[in-house]
Amino acid sequence: MNIEKLQDLQAIANVLHAVLSVYPEPDLINTFKNQGIAENWPVSMVSDTDPHALELLQRFLDQWSDDDEALINLKLDYGMLFYGRYA
């Protein structure tokens, strides 16, 4: 495994850690949007289904409005996904 691939894996791990360990906040989403995370995702790691996921991520970031309603909706979705409907 070469250095570039290791760096790609580290970047992916950092993103997943941020997404899975903390409730979403505007700073995180705005960082993803400003850094073009969907466009800059390591291509060497892309599987056959990843382009669709990256397209959906880009659509979400394109429509993201840094307001209270958007954040509440995102946190509700996050809670339903990771904690369940009745948690």
Q: Is residue 18 part of a domain?
A: yes
The pLDDT tens digits for 38-82 are 998 887 666 776 788 889 999 999 999 989 999 999 999 999 988
Q: Which two tokens stand for residue 10?
A: 């580290």
In a domain, 58, yes or no: yes
Tell whether 87 is covered by a domain.
Answer: no
| Whole-number Å distance between alpha carbons of 80 and 33 | 23
Q: Which domain holds residue 51?
A: 3-82
65: left (phi over 0), alpha (psi -120 to 50) or beta: beta
Does residue 73 fall inside a structural domain?
Answer: yes
Number of domains in the chain: 1
Q: Looking at residue 86, what is its pLDDT?
A: 64
pTM summary value = 0.78
